[in-house]
Structure 1
Amino acid sequence: MTALGRSGVGTGPLGFGAAGIGNLYTPLSDEQAHEAVRAAWERGIRYFDTAPHYGLGLSERRLGAALRGHDRSRYTVSTKVGRLLEPVDGPAGDDLANGFAVPATHRRVWDFSADGVRRGLEASLARLGLDRVDVVYLHDPDDHAGQAFREGYPALEELRAQGVVGAIGAGMNQTEMLTRFVRDTDVDVVLCAGRYTLLDQSAADELLPEAAARGVSVVIGGAFNSGLLADPAPGSTYDYARAPRQLLERALRLKEVAGRHGVTLRAAALAFCSAHPAVTTVLAGARSAAEVHDCADQFATPVPAAFWQEARDLGLLPGAGPS
């Protein structure tokens, strides 16, 4: 286990992203979700990341239930604050507009105030059935920067000082504000989703060098850019929407190159993320035991240097990255 920043919270190189078990896109049963977490444990994964946003709390409830019975000192859980879940009156359809196949029993309320952070964490602990979480991230404060830096972050710092949580940070799908967190606060870790992948290396410009220089750990999410790099095909998703034709074509070319070198595109995608020295952990989002086993297998597969070289020669990758 590697410590996140200067905290005492440990994590391994491969983590479990729990958005899928919150019924991302399509529903799955409690048993299927539990089997996915069980498979992650069997493969040695000990870091599990969730959030209230994922399935309106369903991901947290399922993850907590699946981990129950395991020695609490043997695994790391992170969750997120910034969206409070408030019950709605009566039936209100589903939550597919937000990407989750669950009944819309609650509405999300943005709140990065100190009180909102504490209330959000308390509610997450109740859903998880835990007395503590190890890492708390400010979740997607893109449009709430003022409140997040002025109130949300100091609240997390206080919770860390009190020993309520072990490590604090921010999780986003962009790099600019994450870089600000690294430069202007004392975060232990940032979670960067989708911005350091085979198709988007924007995190390499400032975020990753700044994190490395300041001893801040980086967790990479969205290694497959929400699906396109897992199995590129017409209709594949990129950043949770239909992939643009140009990106689909690039992903298909990368898949061909990977095949010529005896590896899958999935193995190359995971290897690319994990190779940067600032990256502590890559989160693999999985919704079934089969997907977990596949991710673990692909993560353990060596990707030959000749793949990276050919991808660069063809203009499919920049100079930065593995060699």
Structure 2
Amino acid sequence: MTFRQRPLGSSAVAMTELAFGAAAIGNLYTPVDDAQAEQAVEAAWQEGIRSFDTAPHYGLGLSERRLGEALRGRPRSEYTVSTKVGRILEPAPAATGDDLANGFAVPATHRRRWDFTADGVRRSIEESLNRLDLDRIDIAYLHDPDDHAEQALTEAYPALHRLREEGVLGAIGIGMNQAEVPARFVRETDLDVVLLAGCYSLLTQRGLAELLPQAAERGVGVVIGGVFNSGLLADPKPGATFDYAAAPPEVLNRALELKAVCERHGVPLRAAALRFPFGHPAVASVLVGTRSAAEVHDCAEMLRHPVPAALWAELKERGLLPPEVPTPEESCR
């Protein structure tokens, strides 16, 4: 059963409600072998996932190469691929060791160089097309321009706009772990989509203050990443991580309270975490990083799991969700 597809802004690009995040098959934190990576993508296809996200940053290009290989031979019109610009990969022939300082268990064969110039954007897209073995990219995101917002706005964004007009790209967006800079881009540019990571979940709704309402008003699609907040909402327990660090006790306790309410309604916490973002009308998809076929099948099962309206109501009654936060059954009224 294929997941429902939702359009991104006024573009011709649509995404399945569940998207495959390919950072993990770029050896995020720990190695994944070629066969395991291919099996994860195959499982996504079997589950009806047709949207795949990668970036040059992920494993120094390994994620793009593996994703391209795994998708080769599949009907190109049936899936969407997103990648990112802002980091150029340059060979480092004298380098030794690994790339774990940047989070990836791969040899340090290249170094990353921030580049949000127009030439850098074109070079990045050309190199991504080669690694992916594709002739077009469906979505290109400006990747983490936290310290480069002005250059991304005045140089990188216009370059992506031209590539979209040329048909090299189907849609353009911005992907960040914060909501403020993307909100500015929604106001000042003609974006199709925002990839918002770690800012809209059962535990934190920072994206609701400004970004999500603006996106809904301007018809910009939003893809939500980090719905498990670095794993805490997948399995809350002592030692779990929250936003890439050890979860503070008060945050862990809140996650355990969320889990208890979910269990009373017969719903796994993972299922509620995956379904929650769709309460907001701007949200088109949730993006989950998976490194194995088993993880893919679990995410698909969890997103398909029914979540009763009474669960959201109890979360609000107990103060675990603010009363103004839209929940999925409300978005259908």
TM range (shorter): over 0.9
Aligned match of 1:242: 246
Aligned match of 2:298: 294
Query: Given the alignment, which residue of 175, 182, 186 partners 2:186?
Result: 182
* Matches for 1:50-65 after TM superposition, within 5 Å: 50-65=54-69
| Structure 1 gap segments, 5+ residues each | none
* Pair 1:209 & 2:240 matched: no
* C-alpha RMSD of matched pairs (Å): 1.1
- Letter of the 2:290 counterpart: A
C-alpha displacement at 1:275, in angstroms?
2.2
C-alpha displacement at 1:243, in angstroms?
1.9
C-alpha displacement at 1:195, in angstroms?
0.5
| Structure 2 gap segments, 5+ residues each | none
CA distance in 2, matches of 1:243, 1:22: 25
CA distance in 2, matches of 1:234, 1:290: 24
C-alpha displacement at 1:314, in angstroms?
1.9
* Matches for 1:272-291 after TM superposition, within 5 Å: 272-291=276-295
| Larger displacement relative to structure 2 (81-90 or 106-115) | 81-90
CA distance in 2, matches of 1:117, 1:240: 28
TM-score normalized by structure 2?
Answer: 0.95
Aligned match of 2:133: 129
CA distance in 2, matches of 1:256, 1:289: 28
CA distance in 1, matches of 2:216, 2:134: 32
* Matches for 1:139-288 after TM superposition, within 5 Å: 139-288=143-292
* Pair 1:321 & 2:322 matched: no
Deviations 1:192-249 (A, max 9, x none): 0110101110111111110000011111111111211111122222222222222112
C-alpha displacement at 1:157, in angstroms?
0.5
- Letter of the 1:52 counterpart: P
CA distance in 2, matches of 1:215, 1:84: 31
CA distance in 2, matches of 1:69, 1:217: 29
- Residue 166 of structure 1 aligns to a residue whose secondary structure is strand
Mapped contact 2:135–2:168 kept (Cα < 8 A): no
- Letter of the 2:215 counterpart: A
CA distance in 1, matches of 2:139, 2:38: 22
- Letter of the 2:133 counterpart: G
Aligned match of 1:28: 32
Mapped contact 2:118–2:159 kept (Cα < 8 A): yes
Query: Given the alignment, which residue of 80, 83, 88 partners 2:87?
Result: 83
| Larger displacement relative to structure 2 (310-319 or 148-157) | 310-319
CA distance in 1, matches of 2:193, 2:31: 31
- Residue 134 of structure 1 aligns to a residue whose secondary structure is strand
Percentage of identical aligned residues: 67
TM-score normalized by structure 1?
Answer: 0.98
Deviations 1:54-91 (A, max 9, x none): 11111111100000110111100000000011111334
- Residue 134 of structure 2 aligns to a residue whose secondary structure is coil
C-alpha displacement at 1:123, in angstroms?
0.9
C-alpha displacement at 1:315, in angstroms?
1.6
In the alignment of these two chains, the number of paired residues is 323
Mapped contact 2:118–2:156 kept (Cα < 8 A): yes
Aligned match of 1:9: 13
C-alpha displacement at 1:185, in angstroms?
0.1
| Larger displacement relative to structure 2 (95-104 or 78-87) | 95-104
